[in-house]
Amino acid sequence: MKSRNKMFDILLFAVTLVLAVVFFFPIYFSLISAFKSNGEILRNAVAFPDSFYVDSFKALWTQTKFPRAMLNSLILTLTSIALMIGVIPMAAYAIERTNKRWTHLVYMYYLAGMMIPFQVYMIPLFKEMKMIGLYGSLGAPILIYISGSVGFGVLLYTSFIRGIPQEIEEAASIDGCSRYGIFWRIVFPLLGPCTASMVVLNGLGIWNDFLMPMLVLPSGEPKTMIVEIFKFVGELASQWDMVFAGTAISIVPVLIAFIALQKYFVKGVAAGATKG
């Protein structure tokens, strides 16, 4: 029995190691290619660089629209996340604490929205953006990101709020705290792991999004970082040194955010899977 368990552990470790190598290889390839010239990448893509080539980084910052595109990515990500955190938790709190039939219908409506693929309502959505005058501005993708995250956010936050004892809120109400004060001062701080999960999951999706900025933001002007990197890939020739340099730069903020929120993110995902 012990030998069988040992063989199973060895097999599980081997599979895990292979998966780790498969997932890590694109990161390794991008990082080493970021410090190569275009010719060196084409000669031997997986080898270590002969010397640290940083001219692509300099050209990226001084000769292209990449800095402005990165600023647009930061504006889109930070603004969208801030508005999500300001709106979605309150909606989830109202749904969870107002135990009425209409709130259950609203909750099911939000969940139903998660089941509709984006491609189904993409064209009508863009036409609506044109009607309200947001098409071609940063406001359009921000509004789309927020509305698209409501379903998952409400689902995640309601499962957390359900586990918070209502006696805490009743005690605060007796002390004279308002409904908004109860939420922001007492309930919201307890939702830290859930908020961290929202920030990491949605922030990563917005930061790496290609389709939305490509379609909504005006052509001829800097869009977002990912779209700007794509411009270096040509039909006949590509500047791979610029592509990988931009990719390496784009990875850094994501790694910093994930490392800073890792503890809360793992706790939030684990708790969200067991609550509700």
Residue pLDDT, tens place only, 40-57: 888 887 788 878 888 888
pLDDT digits (tens, 9 = 90+) for 148-175: 899 889 988 998 888 888 888 888 888 8
Residue 238 predicted with pLDDT over 60: yes
**pLDDT at residue 83, as a whole number:** 94
Q: What average pLDDT does range 200-219 have in this prediction?
A: 87
Residue 273 confidence (pLDDT): 46
The predicted pLDDT at position 133 comes to 85
Query: How sure is the predictor about 235, in pLDDT bands with cuts at 50, 70 and 90?
Result: low
Q: Does 140 score more than 50 pLDDT?
A: yes
Nearest CA to 151 out of 196, 200, 124, 112 is that of 112
Average pLDDT of the chain to the nearest whole number: 84
Q: Report which residue type is found at 23.
A: F
Asked if 190 and 174 touch (Cβ cutoff 8 Å), the reply is: no
Structure confidence at residue 89 (pLDDT): 93
| Predicted pLDDT of residue 268 | 53
- Return the pLDDT at 264: 65
With a cut of 60, say whether residue 1 has pLDDT above it: no
Q: What is the 3-state secondary structure (H, E, C) of the chain?
A: CHHHHHHHHHHHHHHHHHHHHHHHHHHHHHHHHHCCCHHHHHHCCCCCCCCCCCHHHHHHHHCCCHHHHHHHHHHHHHHHHHHHHHHHHHHHHHHHHCCCHHHHHHHHHHHHHHCCCHHHHHHHHHHHHHHCCCCCCCHHHHHHHHHHHHHHHHHHHHHHHCCCCHHHHHHHHHCCCCHHHHHHHHHHHHCHHHHHHHHHHHHHHHHCCCHHHHHHCCCCCCCCHHHHHHCCECCCCECHHHHHHHHHHHHHHHHHHHHHHHHHHHHHHHHHHHCC
Percent of the chain residues topping a pLDDT of 90: 14
pLDDT at 274: 46
What number is the average pLDDT over the span 219-238? 82
pLDDT tens across 174-186, in order? 888 888 888 888 8
The pTM of the full predicted model, rounded to 2 decimals, is 0.82
- Domain covering 55-274 in this structure, CATH number: 1.10.3720.10
pLDDT of the residue at 267? 58
